[in-house]
C-alpha cells in the first residue's frame, strides 16, 4: 500500500453498473479520500445506483463527457486529481453492432482524451507528480484502465461436454464446476477482438499502454470476465431475464445457448479493482475472473429455477418411478432466436496471476451470488420499473437542479 493517505480519485463511469459498485466501495472504505464520479449519464448511467452515498462528504458527482478534454483537464487542476480509475465506456455488444461509431468515439477517443488530460496535468505538477520512466513503483499518480476479456477474442470449445478445470476458486466451488476447453485467456495472449465493442476496448487498452511506453505514464490495465449483480442495466442477460421471468415474458436465447462465459460477482470485481489500484505494479496487466465457466443455456436454467423458487412458482410432480420432483413452469419461456452476428463461442479467463501476486480471490460462490442477485432485483422492483420506464433519466434533474 502506498503511503498517501489523502488522495483525490477521479472515477469515470461511476453511475454505471460496475462503476457504481467501485464508487460505493471507495467512498465508504476511504473516508479520507475524495472520490469524484465523472459520468456523462448516457442511457446506461443511473444516479439512483448511488442514492445511499450521494450525500457523503467525500463524494462529488460531475456530469461530463470523457471526450471533453478541456473540461476534464480543468476538473483535474481544480481538484488536484492524483488517481484515475477509468470505467466509462459504451459496453453493450449488440449496440456496438448497430452503432460502432459511438463505441469508437467514447471508448477510443474518450480514453485518449482522458489520458492526454492526465498527462498534461500530471506533467505540470512538481515532484512527486512528475512522470518518468524511472518512477515506476509507488508513484502517487496512477491511471487505471478497466477493460474486458473480450479483447482476447474467442477460445475454442474443445470439450462441449465439459472437463475438470485446472483451477478452482470460491466462485466455481459449487456443483457445476466445468471447463469447456483446455485453453484460457492469459495476460500475454495476442489481442483478437471480434465485435466493434471489443475492438474499441482493445484499441483503448493499446493507447493506455502506449502512454506508459512513450511518456512513462503510470498505467495499469485489467481485463475482467462477465460481471453480474445488482444495478446492472436490464439490457444485459441476467437482469433482463430475471425481469422477463417475473412478468412471464419470453426469454430470447441466442443460437442454441451454447456460448460459454466466465462469470464474476460485481462486488468481487470492485474488490479486485481496489486491491490493484493500491498494490498492483505499474505497467502490468492483470486478468480478473472466477474460473467459473457457464454455457448461457445452463445459466438461464439456474436463473429460472432461482426466480421460480423465490416467487413460489415451483410445482411438485410425481415421476414415473413414484418420486416427487420439482418442476419449474417458466422453463417454457425459453425462446431460441437467431444468433448474434460474430458471436464468440467461449471466453474463459485465467486469473491466477492476480491470485498469485496480489492474493485476490472471489469471495462468493456462483449459485449463492445468483440467488443474492435474483433476490436483489425482485426486492428492488421500483429500481427496475424506474429504469424500464425511462424515469431514471429525470433523476439527475430532480436531484441536482440548483446544486
Q: Which residues bind ligand NAD (CB under 6 A)?
A: 12-13, 15-19, 39-42, 44-45, 65-67, 87-91, 106, 110, 146, 148, 201, 224, 226-227, 233
Q: Which helix (H) or strand (E) holds 289?
A: none
Nearer Cβ to ligand NAD, position 90 or 267?
Answer: 90
Backbone φ and ψ for 127, nearest 5 degrees, come out as -50, 145
Nearer Cβ to ligand NAD, position 45 or 218?
Answer: 45
CB of 335 to ligand NAD, least distance (A): 23
CB of 252 to ligand NAD, least distance (A): 19
Q: How far apart are CA 300 and CA 16, in angstroms?
A: 24
Catalytic entry in 82, 90, 150, 262? 150
Nearer Cβ to ligand NAD, position 328 or 377?
Answer: 377
Q: How far apart are CA 379 and CA 373, in angstroms?
A: 10
24, three cell numbers: 460505493
Catalytic entry in 149, 205, 267, 293? 149
Nearer Cβ to ligand NAD, position 91 or 308?
Answer: 91
Four-point Cα dihedral 159, 194, 258, 312, nearest 10: 130
Q: SS3 of 183, please?
A: coil
147, three cell numbers: 477493460
Specify whether 55 is catalytic. no
Nearer Cβ to ligand NAD, position 52 or 326?
Answer: 52
CB of 351 to ligand NAD, least distance (A): 12
How many helices (H) and strands (E) the chain has is answered by: 13, 14
Residue 153 C-beta-side C-alpha neighbours within 13 Å: 9
Catalytic entry in 197, 231, 265, 347? 197
CB of 231 to ligand NAD, least distance (A): 8
Neighbours of 3 (CB within 10 A): 6
CB of 138 to ligand NAD, least distance (A): 26
Distance in Å from the first CA to the final CA of the chain: 36
Specify whether 326 is catalytic. no
Return the closest-CA partner of residue 38 out of 134, 132, 113. 113
CB of 196 to ligand NAD, least distance (A): 13
Backbone φ and ψ for 24, nearest 5 degrees, come out as -60, -45
Residue least distant from ligand NAD (Cβ): 16
Cβ atoms of 143 and 123 closer than 8 Å: no
DSSP 319-376: -TTS-EEEE-GGGGGEEEEPPPTT---B--B--HHHHHHH-----S-HHHHHHHHHHH
Specify whether 197 is catalytic. yes
Cβ contacts of residue 171 below 8 Å, gap of 6+? 263, 264, 265, 268, 290, 291, 292, 362, 364, 365, 366, 369
Residue whose entry in the numeric block shows the C-alpha cell 475454442:
156
Nearer Cβ to ligand NAD, position 45 or 290?
Answer: 45
Nearer Cβ to ligand NAD, position 110 or 216?
Answer: 110
CB of 32 to ligand NAD, least distance (A): 26
Q: Which positions are annotated as active-site residues?
A: 149-150, 197
Amino acid at each position: 500500500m502506498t503511503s498517501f493517505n489523502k488522495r483525490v480519485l477521479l472515477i469515470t463511469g461511476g453511475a454505471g453498473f460496475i462503476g457504481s459498485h467501485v464508487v460505493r466501495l471507495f467512498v465508504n472504505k476511504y473516508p479520507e479520500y475524495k472520490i469524484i464520479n465523472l459520468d456523462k449519464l448516457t442511457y446506461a448511467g443511473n444516479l439512483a445506483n448511488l442514492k445511499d452515498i450521494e450525500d457523503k462528504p467525500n463524494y462529488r458527482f460531475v456530469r461530463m463527457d470523457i471526450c471533453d478534454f478541456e473540461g476534464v483537464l480543468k476538473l483535474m487542476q481544480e481538484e488536484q486529481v492524483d488517481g484515475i480509475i477509468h470505467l466509462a465506456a459504451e459496453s453493450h455488444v449488440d449496440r456496438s453492432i448497430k452503432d460502432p461509431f459511438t463505441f469508437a468515439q467514447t471508448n477510443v477517443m474518450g480514453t485518449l482524451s482522458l489520458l492526454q488530460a492526465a498527462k498534461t496535468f500530471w506533467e505540470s505538477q512538481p515532484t512527486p507528480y512528475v512522470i518518468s520512466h524511472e518512477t515506476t513503483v509507488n508513484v502517487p499518480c496512477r491511471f487505471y484502465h478497466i477493460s474486458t476479456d473480450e479483447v482476447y477474442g474467442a477460445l475454442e470449445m474443445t470439450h462441449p461436454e465439459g472437463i475438470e478445470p485446472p483451477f478452482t476458486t470460491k466462485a466455481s466451488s459449487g456443483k457445476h464446476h466445468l471447463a469447456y476447453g483446455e485453453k484460457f485467456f492469459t495476460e500475454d495472449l495476442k489481442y483478437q477482438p471480434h465485435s466493434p465493442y471489443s475492438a474499441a476496448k482493445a484499441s483503448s487498452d493499446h493507447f493506455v499502454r502506449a502512454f506508459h511506453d512513450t511518456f512513462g505514464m503510470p498505467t495499469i490495465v485489467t481485463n475482467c470476465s462477465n460481471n453480474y449483480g445488482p444495478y446492472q442495466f436490464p439490457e444485459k442477460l441476467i437482469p433482463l431475464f430475471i425481469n422477463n421471468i417475473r412478468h412471464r415474458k419470453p426469454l430470447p436465447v441466442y443460437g442454441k445457448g451454447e456460448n460459454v462465459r466466465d462469470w464474476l460477482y460485481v462486488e468481487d470485481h470492485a474488490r479486485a479493482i481496489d486491491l490493484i489500484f493500491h498494490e498492483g505494479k505499474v505497467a502490468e496487466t492483470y486478468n480478473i475472473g472466477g474460473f467459473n465457466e457457464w454455457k448461457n443455456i445452463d445459466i438461464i436454467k439456474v436463473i429460472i429455477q432461482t426466480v421460480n423458487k423465490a416467487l413460489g412458482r415451483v410445482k411438485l410432480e410425481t415421476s414415473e418411478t413414484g418420486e416427487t420432483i420439482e418442476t419449474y413452469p417458466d422453463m417454457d419461456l425459453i425462446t431460441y432466436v437467431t444468433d448474434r452476428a460474430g458471436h464468440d463461442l467461449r471466453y474463459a479467463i485465467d486469473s491466477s496471476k492476480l491470485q498469485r501476486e496480489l492474493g485476490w480471490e472471489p469471495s462468493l460462490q456462483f449459485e449463492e451470488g445468483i440467488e443474492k442477485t435474483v433476490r436483489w432485483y425482485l426486492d428492488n422492483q421500483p429500481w427496475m420499473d424506474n429504469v424500464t420506464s425511462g424515469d431514471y433519466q429525470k433523476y439527475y434533474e430532480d436531484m441536482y437542479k440548483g446544486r
